[in-house]
Amino acid sequence: MYSDKQQKTLAGLGKTLLANDHLKSTSKSEASEVIDQLIQVLNYHDWRYYVLSEPIIEDTDYDYLFDALKLLQETYPSLMRPDSPTQRVARGLSEDFESVEHTVPMLSLAKAYNDQDLIDWDASIKKLMQEEQIVYACEPKFDGASLALVYENDLLVRAATRGNGIVGDDITNNIKTLPSVPLRAAFSKYGIYKTELRGEVVIHKERFKQMNERRAAAGEKLYSNARNTASGALRQKDSSKVAEKQIEAFLYQVGVTYDEAGNDRTRDLKSHGASIQLLYDLGFKTSLKSHDDQSNICQNIEEVIAYCNKWRETRDDYDYEIDGIVIKVDDVELQDMVGYTAHHPRWAIALKFDARQATTILEQIDYQVGRTGAITPVAKLKTVNLAGANISNASLHNEEFIKEKDIHIGDTVILQRAGDVIPYIVEAVKRKRDGSETPVVFPTHCPSCESPLEKPEEEAVWRCSNRLECPAQVEEQLIHFVSKGAMDIRGLGRDIVKRFYQEGRIQRIPDIYKLNYGGIKLLEGWGERSVAKLKDSIEASKDQPLYRLLVGLGIREVGTGTAKRLVEAVDSVEELQNWTEEQLIELPDIGPKVAASIVSFFQDERSIKLLEELKELGLNMKKREQDMPQVKSTVLAGKTFLFTGSLQQFTRNDAKRMVEEMGGKLLSGVSSKLHYLVVGEKAGSKLTKAQKIETITILNEDEFLKLVAEAK
């Protein structure tokens, strides 16, 4: 590798080559040598600029080098190399992203919220390992979008989003446009033939600020926060636009490594700290400041806490958004011994920083009408930046929330992002009132259709009484019907449904299946291919399982679990027209309130007409064997389960799957019909309620796993 002084001298090479037309007379052998030199020089300057943030040449000199390389490769296409910086140039519009399976799952992390949580976690590791002292590696928890990179024979061959942890979106073309990600890295020097790395894509705070300044000057909508902007950039269909977001990738984990014979060599790296040093030496962007930076290695939990406190105090001074610190057992052999749960590695934990707060002014309140007619007051705030996002709206939930916090229009309020995500009004600052504030008067009529509002005594929410004709409700019902949890009609997202509704193309659910596709083709942003995909998706939805149709109909109190219970009890949707409340209450997970709602829906003539129309349009109205849960045994038959709290050893979906595969049923609430309540961390009101019912057995996660194992 050339010295910095030599690199500065070579910076003029591109201009020289282009200026005297030397390239036009270069032989192929000479061109090969020059290409090798240019690639080495350009990759070095990419590293200086994008990884170290310490450029040593002017941008124009870099451009001359790049253009010279590009011209040589165009002259001799056979000399094109996959690690050439010119390969970062976008390839234009790509097809929809394909799903790819990660080499090893990208699990979540257990969470800590204070020093005591860390101390307890440290004690559990020591107890498990019978060790008196554990060395930990710490690093900032970047608030960005997760990324998996696969290198094979030193070349970047695949990049993917985290997805569901098992499968992610293939975004290789987009990632190849990032100068902070090497297209070639010399893993082979360390006996590594294939490896999968983990990282986070982020945007420098100052660059994000500059992007929004440019958008403001151009009259464009501002990006709300760096995290969402980075995540959106990863899924750009046009790779040429990825560079506009100026995203960077920090690498924080070597997931797995293999030698050329396919043997797992992950443990050869000995420690997490050593693996990060390896990535730094290979030119990746990491949290290390230098090769021998040991500031992130802590000899005990006390040093970990000190490290976390230092970052907590200085997080706002860092160039990138972070929302916590990740702590890992440093020794990889100990990591293996500590092991994993289905949800997270036991040898790692993320300390989450406290939610940040800001004060602003509540300027007015708007009232939104939901799918079930619920009226939700939304605070319109004087825009304030909080934790990297510009906040101008926050839910006030309901009338009781406003009264409890004594909120007035014009109040100075304390705003917080719950989990650094959802804006939440903590309180009104009453000492700042000057008399100009006005009490909130909750409306008595629907802001959409002017129908009277109603509120049952047992509820906190006011609702519009005009369920089937209120424009706001109808629009939300359409959005719900096509949503992923219901009929899952791809291509009909919220914005498109709203547009089609406002244009009169869709006014009722049956209209979805009567769309004029010829007319849609004429709309801006639509073409043959997108219209064909929409049509295919709508047609495919006709064959959805019956429970999805029940969810899509938007019956109050009927979610996925209840819909599945109903489908198990009938052969077709028409049968539900004859069911009484008493019959419904006999089913698991259905109480008087839910039963009354179901009967009310199926006794409404308008609902019956809707179902008849959907049947005529070809939608599936019957229960089918292939749509039912695949029961592998019946050892839990007749038993009902409910999960509450934060589960650490398995995901909620995994737990539900285990129960259903063994013949058990899942309930959505605590009642006398519940047999087992499985509690995770920070279980709340469901645990309190279950403790008052003697017939309910309360299990922790270990006891649940033991029950399942014994049942098998």
Active site residues: 141
CA atoms of 674 and 656, how far apart (whole Å): 15
Question: CA-CA distance, 149 to 399, in Å (whole number)?
Answer: 49
Contacts of 320 (CB under 8 A, 6+ apart): 140, 142, 143, 144, 202, 203, 204, 205, 226, 250
Which of 645-678 are b and which e, b meaning 16 or more Cβ less than 10 Å from the residue's Cβ? Answer: bebbbbbeeebbebbbebbbbbbbbbbebbbbbb
User: DSSP 3-state assignment of 409?
Assistant: strand
Structure token digits, residue 269: 């790296």
Q: What angle do CA 688, 692, 694 make, to 5 degrees?
A: 130
CB 45: neighbour CB atoms within 10 A?
A: 22
Q: Which of 217, 234, 122, 84 is nearest to 174 (CA)?
A: 234
| HEC sequence for 326-368 | EEEECEHHHHHHHCECCCCECCEEEEECCCCEEEEEEEEEEEE
Give residue 128's identity as a one-letter amino acid code: L
Cα–Cα distance, 624 to 580 (Å, whole number): 24
Count of residues making up the chain:
712
Is 78 in a helix, a strand, or coil?
A: helix
CA 232, 235, 236: angle at the middle one, nearest 5?
A: 90
Beta-strand relationship, 640-644 and 665-666: parallel
**Are 280 and 141 within 8 A, CB to CB?**
no
> Beta partners for 75?
none
Question: Strand 357-369 to strand 322-329: parallel, antiparallel, or no bridges (unpaired)?
Answer: unpaired
Say if strands 136-142 and 297-298 run parallel, antiparallel, or are unpaired. antiparallel
Q: Are 688 and 665 in contact (CB under 8 A)?
A: no
Q: Quick one: which of 214, 205, 149 has its CA closest to 175?
A: 149
Neighbours of 285 (CB within 10 A): 23
Give the separation between CA 229 and CA 624, rounded to whole angstroms: 43
Q: Are strands 194-203 and 145-152 parallel, antiparallel or unpaired?
A: antiparallel
Dihedral sign for Cα 306, 308, 314, 317, please: positive
